[in-house]
Amino acid sequence: MEFAKRIQGIESSFVRDILKLATQKDIISFAGGLPEANLFPTGRFAKAAQEILTNPKTAKVALQYGESTGFTPLKEIIAKTYKIKDNLDIDPNLIIITTGSQQALDLIGKTLVNEGDEVLVERPTYLAAIQALQFYKPKFTEIELSSNGPKTLPNKTKAKLAYIIPNFQNPTGITWSNEKREEFAKWANKNNILIVEDDPYGEIRFSGKRQKPLKTFHENTVLLGSFSKILAPGLRLGWIVAPNKEIFHALSLAKQSADLHSSQFTQLIAAKFYEDFDAQAHIEKIAKEYGKRKDILHSKLKEIFPTAQITNPDGGMFLWVRFPEEIEVLSLLKQAVDEGVAFVPGVPFYVSNPEKNTARFNFSNTNESAICEGVARLQKALKSIV
């Protein structure tokens, strides 16, 4: 079969392959990017679903086709949340509800990226964003990260758009400071670059102060959000805030042709969750638990890798390890899987010249005792390779 050119050269996600491996036996996995399932608000979802389906008016809306750009009350909730959290005025008419923010990445590629267009990404960056955008054959350029944002910005650039994850970045856990955001926004403005600000983790903060969305500093920003980490990924709900009507319209056409609209049923459940329950308290509960897990993972990894550089994030679900050069990360992973623990090597998070001595560790989906056991297994693996 001759496949379309756009899929040639696209490889299966390394993480998905690893995850398959990690579910095969009794493995403690720091590899995936899963939220803690025990924190899903199942009872509240059940109550919301029951009420929606037993009321004929809402049942019809939930089970009928809906508008391509999404369920208006849910868009209003999203806009209201930005006002409360960031004092940001968002027009609900510029919001498109997507099937997870992963779909938003695809729609952005489809709508805005021509073959050969220069797309700026952080180094490293979210590997499934690389995969989604790769279908549209851009030329990626990278900006190196320091602990609080880009190290330096190029003097000259032809980049059309910049894809960034400024809060608790996947994979590094790094958060951009307000100063770095402002500086970047000025630079993007001067160079006429559209910013794509991907923020699925911003609300999962367990320490420090919330930083301002880049959108505050740069009007020409497409802001992405997701309910995956704050409610549940199974809802498959994310959103796009378009910067203007023109981009909103183009993205709406792409959305319509992709899947007509995202699930009405889960949109109604998410909206009802916010209307009937204290969503903020729920998010704080998640953040508190993840904060405890991060502390344990960070300190245990520090004990066994005293000379490694390990990020210490204020939120999100990941930390990033830069091992000393003598540690062969792929050999360590192989031994680790034999010992019953998995993590993700850093290589697939780079679009070029990967730093091979890096790795990403997830802390949201492993409880405290399993984290201790997982790191003990990792220590055994380490002993067998050095």
Ligand X SMILES: Cc1ncc(COP(=O)(O)O)c(C=O)c1O
Nearer to ligand X, 225 or 374 (CB): 225
Nearer to ligand X, 130 or 381 (CB): 130
- Are the C-beta atoms of 118 and 157 separated by less than 8 Å? yes
Which residues are 145's β-sheet partners? 150
Burial of 354 (0-12, 13-18, 19+ CB in 10 A): middle
- How far is Cα 249 from Cα 231, in angstroms, rounded to an integer? 28
Quote the least distance from Cβ 127 to ligand X, whole Å: 9
Residues found near ligand X in the complex (CB under 6 A): 33, 100-102, 126, 165, 170, 198, 200, 226, 228, 233, 238
**Token pair 């502390």 in the structure block, residue:** 295
Coil, helix or strand for 164?
A: strand
- 86: which 2 tokens? 């960031």
Quote the least distance from Cβ 349 to ligand X, whole Å: 11
Nearest to 343 by CA among 315, 311, 308, 381: 381
What is the 3 state secondary structure string of 79-120?
A: HHHHHHHHCCCCCHHHEEEECHHHHHHHHHHHHHCCCCCEEE
Nearer to ligand X, 100 or 345 (CB): 100
Quote the least distance from Cβ 361 to ligand X, whole Å: 14
Quote the least distance from Cβ 348 to ligand X, whole Å: 13
- How far is Cα 238 from Cα 223, in angstroms, rounded to an integer? 11
- Are the C-beta atoms of 154 and 187 separated by less than 8 Å? no
Half-sphere exposure at residue 129, Cβ-oriented, CA atoms within 13 angstroms: 29
Quote the least distance from Cβ 225 to ligand X, whole Å: 8
Quote the least distance from Cβ 328 to ligand X, whole Å: 27
Look at strands 221-226 and 161-164 and give their pairing.
unpaired
Quote the least distance from Cβ 237 to ligand X, whole Å: 7
**Type of residue at 28:** I
Nearer to ligand X, 236 or 380 (CB): 236
Quote the least distance from Cβ 46 to ligand X, whole Å: 21
- Are the C-beta atoms of 168 and 316 separated by less than 8 Å? yes
- How far is Cα 384 from Cα 386, in angstroms, rounded to an integer? 6
Quote the least distance from Cβ 321 to ligand X, whole Å: 18
Contacts of 41 (CB under 8 A, 6+ apart): 231, 232, 273, 277, 282
- 330: which 2 tokens? 């792929």
